[in-house]
Structure 1
Amino acid sequence: MGADAYAFLRDLARGLQPRSDQLAEVVLQRLRGELPEVWRYEDIAALAPAALSEEVDTVLDFLERGRDLSEVTTPPAAIDFACRLAEHGVQISELLRVYRLVHAGLLHLLYEETGRLTKDPELINAVTIALSAMGFEYVDHTAQQAVVAYQRARDRWLQRRLIMINEVGTRIGTTLDTARTAQELADVGTAHFADLVTVDLLDAVLQEEGTYPALGPQALRRIAQSVSDGSRDSAVDTGKSLAYPEGSEPALVLATGQPLRLGITASNPPTWLEEPADPGGALSAHGIHSLLLVPLWGRGNALGLAQFFRGQSADPFDDDDLLLAQEISSRAAVNIDNARRYTHERSTALTLQRSLLPQHAPEESAVETASRYLPSGSRAGVGGDWYDVIPLSGARVALVVGDVVGRGLQAAATMGSLRTAVRTLADIDLPPDELLTHLDDVVIRLQRAEERGTDEISATCLYAVYDPVSRVCSLASAGHVLPAVVAPRDASASRAVVFPKLPIGPPLGLGGLPFETAQFELPQGSLLVLYTDGLIESRVRDVDAALALLRGVLAQAPASLEKTCDALLHALLPSRPVDDVALLVARTRTLDTDRVATLDLPSDPAVVFEARTFASDLLAAWGLEELAFTTELVVSELVTNAIRYGKSPIQLRMILQSTVTCEVSDASSTAPHLRRARAFDEGGRGLFLVAQLTQRWGTRHDREGKVIWAEQLIPCALAE
């Protein structure tokens, strides 16, 4: 009976060969009813008839020839069908279900045909047993080959996705620029799986740090979009404001933070998917039929919305595409939030820093100055570079440049503290080395005040004092690069440029280490160029090469200090410097000899009259007779104090610039102080009178003793 059953099956298969297409169509209709979700993929639906036809032919050929299963291979179209399922992310269980349904349908048709051809119950039973055994063996054999092909295709698909995810990590967030990051998200989307991508950010997110949307419809701004063919026609409308109606799909995605996959029909598109959400009719131009709405959330707050569109040339988005879009958008959202936070902090730090720097070049009789501050162009943020020009007593001027280690608001705030401290210390006329010693103490106190775990505060500073009377520059450095000195212009086109070999002390904040003041003369018209290390440090050249370039620029420096600053920055810096740069260029001046007069005095009260006469005559020569009474009183008090409380030698010096300065020096280091005299005190009112009659007064110390000085403003009428 077994031989009869197999012979019957051979005849049955041979008779069904001409009707194989009909059998395949019957099974195909059953599959479409049982697995409608598989047929939503156009390429799978197009491939299924050929795959099923090849499968039916292979089964009938196997029954007709009675071949060994080891000789049977899964048809190529069926292998391709399995690979397509894998690429679309269809689960392997669906592939196995397809195989079960196909072969169950074929067995059913073969059983029916057997019953039509014979009524012998024993033959029918034998054929049924043989068909069942052969069918299960065939399905196991061919399904195994299909599963292997499916798994290989799935592995390749997953590898491509992994490569794409890795690419996302390198292509998105290359800068800390919000718009650039949004555009990178759009470009990555169209490069891999979408025909059109748009990125909308909330206006509140773009405007201010810490501002997040409230409930209800929110205004958004189209910040970026990209088209898969590389055209930018639709990108011209980026920057437009738009608002999605409350209750619409985009509004729902923004409110809940949950992504959404939508199908779009040309006959009935969503009402919200119109201008300005579809600038230039880009959606209709690409035949968009599938859409992913993915929220951009950063640190638990909504930032905006990314939309991914597919046109007629591609299959609709599936769940795997939605997961991929979420992964890409999630990474982009973190970078966008970082960018906006960085932009806000950088803007705040830069505003703070610029507000703390000198707002305009001060008018000084000692020097002419020009300056530049250039923030870094890197993502490191604004640093703590600063410069300052501080008027001192005796027509002198202090030139300061410094650099706080670190970036951001902390560096800018520390810079402000140090600049204030330098100005305060400069007001008491400390020598450069002593000033840096006190500034070192300030930095140490700031370090102790900082919270644990924060970066330790450190800074460098260069403090120089120029005296236009003696033409002497006194300078001390706390770990800071030394200035360049440019000789005055002469008949030759080139000017001599030197970098003085002076001692450099330790950076501020180490404590307990000494600083040293160096002195050198500067001829009138010399340039003193102070700068921070950002001007000469570079990744493409060493410091020596930068100093040589600096020397070359200064040797040919134009007469204008402003143009000199521009020439230095242009020659030494790239378009986006990696570090902040502070630059201060000063041209020295010398006071005319007829504007400075000195008188040596013995330690004798009788010379007070001589000092008053000297001052009165000098004012007359300067055409400032109206200041004579006040000046004589000031001179009388200062000379009397020096004779009574100081030591010889005593000297009176008078200086004329925008003010009239009276200075009395002696060899004593004891400083006077202002006090309020009681009703019956015979003395103690001298300095009080000086303070009331002059604009400023003070004391400065040097190695030979001290100088008490007082300044009077020149009335406008007299100055003219």
Structure 2
Amino acid sequence: MNPTPQPDGQVRSDICGPRPGLPDPRALARWEEALLCLRVFDTAPIIFAVFDRGLRYRAVNQAAARASGLSAEEMIGGYGPEVLPGIDPLGWERPRRVLATGEAILDEEIIGATPADPSNPRIWRASYYPLHDSTGARIAVGVTAVDVTDERRAQAERDLVLRRLRLLSRASGLLGASLDLSATLREMVTLVVPEFADACELYLADEPCPPGAEPDPPLLRRAVWAHSPDLPRPSPDLPLPPPDTRSNLTGRQVGRVFLTRQPVRLDLDERLPDAPDAPDAPASSVAALFRHSHLRSAIIVPLLVGPHCLGTVGFAVTAARPYREQDTQTATELGSRIATAIANAHAFDHQRTAALTLQRALLPRDIPTLDDLDLAWRYQPGTSGTEVGGDWFDVIPLPAGRVALVIGDVMGRGLNAAAAMGQLRTAARTLARLDLPPAALLTELDAVTRSIDTIASVAYVIQDPATSTLTVANGGHLPPALRHPDGTADLLDDPHGIILGVTEQTFTETRHRFPPGSTLALYTDGLVESPTVDIGEGCRRLLRILTETADLPTTADRLLTLLNRNDGNDGYDDDVTLLLAHARRGRCGRFRGR
């Protein structure tokens, strides 16, 4: 059996009792155990402390004294919050809760500064547990704590590195998300603020600056100024330069970074008194803005694409999270991605402008005046940020008062599509002047399409006023829509061939009545299809408008509203081409287009 200690200090056992006149060996063992426990308490590498019900220190070990920067004598008997006032108040609420409830609290973190290092707060993981007397009454609370500051800081560093890597990954993903410069810059700024900066400012040069060039003076356009919503809003009285204004940045940090192509990290507390060195212009307004926004640290990096500098981007933060040296590398990487996005947008814009100029030059400008048809047409390129496609239409007079109406769409975008469109339009006009039937013309045009290694959809229609008919051949294009004189409308969805340029094929043609009062609509897919509206729904909308409106210009304008061009989710991402032909007799036809 195990010996059982008694309140009088004796130990009774069923086996034997103490011998008269000799020390009880089991009592000596208990003293040795008690001394050992005291040594463990005092020399343990973790903090041990005991507080009475008034939160006064009753016992501390050497680790607790070292962590506090005080001696055990200075701590014993002292009121905890007064002995260590730099500890988070929550650290003192927990022992009170333990004393009140009798329930232990395990592994909770507290933060605070002690006299050992008052300027460097530490983090401890602490446990609190109740201590009872022999009657079971709660008389004190024991606390054990382990300093986890270095562990938490290392974890914070790892988390910061991961956040920065994710930030750079998302920035890389934006490079191809949009080719519209304004949209790209908005997305980049939204990504950077407030993840990496509380404020962001971007300057662009009118032209890329080659290596060795030193513009005098360096004039840059302030393209972006964005700040976190948590910062104070700038005062209306603050004389800030308006967006897109050009500033002479001679002698200022932005100008220096632009000319030297080297990043710089700034302590704004030191720079703000020297207004000319603040990363903005004019200096006085920038100094006032930075003080007003409590910005205290900044990094400015050049926007480099190869050897050329496109401008600069500056990032600034408040004193709550000042930039460190390693943040300069992150800022430089962000600047590189922003510069690449800007260069891509500029290159795309140049190509899109060239393709759009070519395409518009190839579209018919001198539509003939016709005796029996009123015409209206509309052409709109895809929204900014998309490449120009290969849409075209044509109106070609034929012998005996007949008219050929053509609409086509070359697959692909950009200069290649526009150039292929020009070749096919020229071929179609040449073949039409041979007065070939529609099916035969498409067969020949299919051979031309294959010879220039492209594919296209084409609808070719001959209107004959003598018979009031339309003869239609369709090579994979959307079906023409016909509004009848009684106001009803339907699609001429006859069997037709596949798109031109795929394989050698023979086309068929169909004939439809086209009496006075009828309206024919030829269109490309950009009119009736978007990422959220399928072709079937778009065609139903087209027929509805045709039945509701008889006036040709009004009909053309309304058809352009089939899809909401200003809605980012339902907007056009393709060119739109529309040709309307309305049959009239006894008067000269009219032409309306744009």
Would you call these one fold, judging by a TM-score over 0.5?
A: yes
Q: Offset at 1:368?
A: 1.1
**Correspondence for 1:286:** 293
Deviations 1:36-95 (A, max 9, x none): xxxxxxxxxxxxxxxx99746468549999xxxxxxxx99547998998999xxxxxxxx
- Structure 2 SS opposite 1:417: helix
Of 260, 265, 280, which residue of structure 2 is paired with 1:261? 265
Q: Distance in 2 between matches of 1:228 and 1:165?
A: 19
SS at match of 2:470: strand
What CA deviation, in whole Å up to 9, does each residue of 1:621-652 have, x standing for no partner? xxxxxxxxxxxxxxxxxxxxxxxxxxxxxxxx
Greater RCO structure (CA 8 Å; 6+ sep): 2
Q: 1:567 aligns with which of 558, 569, 572?
A: 558
Residue number in structure 1 paired with 2:203: 200
Give matches, 1:20-35, under 5 Å. none
CA RMSD of aligned residues (A): 3.9
* 2:509 pairs with one of 498, 508, 517: 517
Cα distance change of structure 1 residues 427 and 338 upon mapping to structure 2, 3 Å threshold: same
Per-residue CA deviations over 1:109-164 (Å, capped at 9, x if unaligned) read xxxxxxxxxxxxxxxxxxxxxxxxxxxxxxxxx99955433323323333443444
Match of 1:458 in 2: 455
Letter in 2 for 1:388: D
Choose 164-173 or 357-366, whichever is displaced more: 164-173
Alignment pair present for 1:468 and 2:468? no
In 2: Cα distance, 1:192 partner to 1:286 partner:
17
Cα 1:173/1:257, change in 2 over 3 Å: farther
CA contact (8 A) 2:439 2:473 kept: yes
Counterpart in 2 of 1:589?
Answer: 584
Per-residue deviation, 1:300: 4.2
Q: Alignment partner of 2:561: what SS?
A: helix
For residues 389-438 of structure 1, give each alpha carbon's deviation from its aligned partner in whole angstroms, at most 9, with x where no partner exists.
11222222111100000011111111111111111222222221222122
Change in CA separation of 1:75 and 1:407 when aligned onto 2, cut-off 3 Å: closer
Partners in 2 of 1:57 and 1:144 — Cα distance? 12
Give the aligned partner of residue 308 of structure 2.
Answer: 301
Query: Which position in structure 2 is the counterpart of 1:552?
Result: 544
**Partner AA of 2:248 in structure 1:** A
CA distance in 2, matches of 1:526, 1:212: 61
- Structure 1 contact 471–521 (Cα < 8 Å) conserved: yes
> Partner of 2:247 in structure 1?
242
Check the 8 A contact 2:447/2:504 in 1, yes or no. Answer: no
Residues 1:191 and 2:194 are matched in the alignment: yes
Q: Secondary structure at the match of 1:191?
A: coil
Equivalent AA in structure 2 for residue 460 of structure 1: S
Structure 1 counterpart of 2:488, from 484, 496, 519 = 496
Matched residues in 1 for 2:254 and 2:380: separation? Answer: 42
Relative to the length of structure 2, the TM-score reads 0.69
Aligned to 1:226: 226
Aligned-residue offset at 1:242 = 1.6
Q: CA deviation at 1:496?
A: 1.5
State whether structure 2 residue 151 is matched by structure 1 residue 148.
yes
Partners of 1:144 and 1:216 lie apart in 2 by 55
- Output the amino acid matched with 1:520: H
For the 8 Å contact 2:373–2:583, the answer to whether it is kept is: yes
Deviation at 1:359, TM superposition (A): 2.9
- Conserved? CA contact 1:366–1:397, under 8 Å: no
Cα contact 2:442–2:475 (8 A) shared by 1: yes
Distance of 2:350 and 2:120 partners within structure 1: 48
Matches within 5 A, 1:211-610: 215-217=213-215, 218-229=218-229, 231=233, 237-245=242-250, 249-264=253-268, 265=270, 266-270=272-276, 275-276=281-282, 281-311=288-318, 313-314=319-320, 316-359=322-365, 361-377=367-383, 379-447=385-453, 457-488=454-485, 495-559=487-551, 561-575=552-566, 576-590=571-585
Verify the 8 A CA contact 1:190 1:196 in the aligned structure 2.
yes
For 1:567, give the aligned amino acid: R
Give the AA of the match of 1:215.
Answer: A
Compared with structure 1, are the counterparts of its residues 529 and 389 closer, same or farther at alpha carbon in structure 2 (3 Å cutoff)? same
Larger Rg over CA atoms: 1
**Could you tell me the TM-score, scaled by structure 1's length?**
0.57
Q: Tell me, in whole angstroms, the C-alpha distance in 2 between the residues paired with 1:252 and 1:568.
A: 54
Instruction: Give, in whole Å, the separation in 2 of the partners of 1:297 and 1:204.
Output: 13
Q: Secondary structure of 2:448's match?
A: helix
Rounded Cα–Cα distance in structure 1 between residues aligned with 2:343 and 2:505: 44
Which amino acid is 1:228 matched to?
A: S
Change (3 A) 1:214 1:466: farther
The answer on whether the counterparts of 1:361 and 1:370 sit within 8 Å (CA) in structure 2 is no
Please identify which structure carries the higher helix content. 1
Task: Provide, for residues 436-463 of structure 1, a one-character-per-residue CA deviation record: whole Å limited to 9, x for no partner.
Answer: 122112112211xxxxxxxxx2101011
- Whether the 8 Å contact between 2:168 and 2:334 is mirrored in structure 1 is yes
| Contact 1:535 1:572 survives alignment (8 Å) | yes
* Paired amino acid for 1:198: E
2:512 alignment partner, SS class: strand
Letter paired with 2:506: P
> Following the alignment from structure 1 to structure 2, what is the Cα–Cα distance between the partners of residues 320 and 190?
18
Of the structure 1 ranges 334-343 and 165-174, higher mean CA displacement relative to structure 2 is found in: 165-174
Task: Report the alpha carbon displacement of residue 322 of structure 1 after superposing the two structures with TM.
Answer: 1.5
Over 3 Å counting, the alpha-carbon distance change for 1:389 and 1:255 in structure 2 is: same
Residue 526 of structure 2 aligns to which amino acid in structure 1?
G
One-letter code of the match for 2:204? L
> Which stretches in structure 2 are left out of the alignment for 5+ residues?
1-38, 43-62, 77-108, 124-144, 590-594
1:513 counterpart SS class: coil
Check conservation: 1:197, 1:307, Cα contact below 8 A.
yes
Letter in 1 for 2:561: H
Maintained 8 Å contact 1:186/1:199:
no
Residues in 2 aligned to 1:465 and 1:86: alpha-carbon distance in whole angstroms: 87
How many residue pairs match? The answer is 463
In 1, distance between residues paired with 2:278 and 2:149?
Answer: 45
Percent of aligned pairs sharing the same letter = 34
Distance 1:537 1:443 in 2: 25
Equivalent-residue separation in structure 2 for 1:553 and 1:170 (angstroms):
41
Per-residue Cα deviation, 1:668-687 (whole angstroms, up to 9, x for no partner):
xxxxxxxxxxxxxxxxxxxx
For 1:327 and 1:85, how far apart are their aligned partners in 2? 32
| Equivalent pair of 2:528/2:562 in contact (CA under 8 Å) | no
How far the C-alpha of 1:515 sits from its partner, in A, is 1.0
The equivalent of 2:133 in structure 1 is none
Q: Which moved more, 1:380-389 or 1:253-262?
A: 253-262
- Take 2:435 and 2:222, find their aligned partners in 1: how far apart are those partners? 58
**Contact 1:469–1:590 under 8 Å retained in 2:** no
After TM superposition, the structure 1 stretch with the greater mean CA deviation from structure 2, 351-360 or 396-405, is: 351-360
Q: Does structure 2 conserve the Cα–Cα contact (< 8 Å) formed by 1:481 and 1:533?
A: yes
Contact 1:484/1:500 (8 A) holds in 2: yes
Contact 2:266–2:297 (8 Å) recurs in 1: yes
Question: What is the Cα deviation at residue 509 of structure 1?
Answer: 0.7
8 Å CA contact 2:113–2:120 kept in 1: the answer is no
CA displacement 1:153-182 (0-9 Å, x = unmatched): 323333443444455456787532223333
Matches of 1:518 and 1:83 in 2, distance apart?
90
Cα pair distance change 1:278/1:356, threshold 3 Å: farther
SS in 2 for 1:399: strand
Give the number of the structure whose residues are more often strand, by fraction.
Answer: 2
Q: Is the 8 A contact 2:298 2:323 kept in 1?
A: yes
1:295-327 Cα deviation digits (max 9, x unpaired): 11234421110012345x445421122222222
Inter-partner Cα distance in structure 1 for 2:75 and 2:229: 52
- C-alpha deviations, 1:1-53, integer Å up to 9, x for none? xxxxxxxxx9xx9xxxxxxxxxxxxxxxxxxxxxxxxxxxxxxxxxxxxxx99
User: What are the equivalent positions in structure 2 for 1:123-162 lying under 5 Å apart?
Assistant: 145-162=148-165
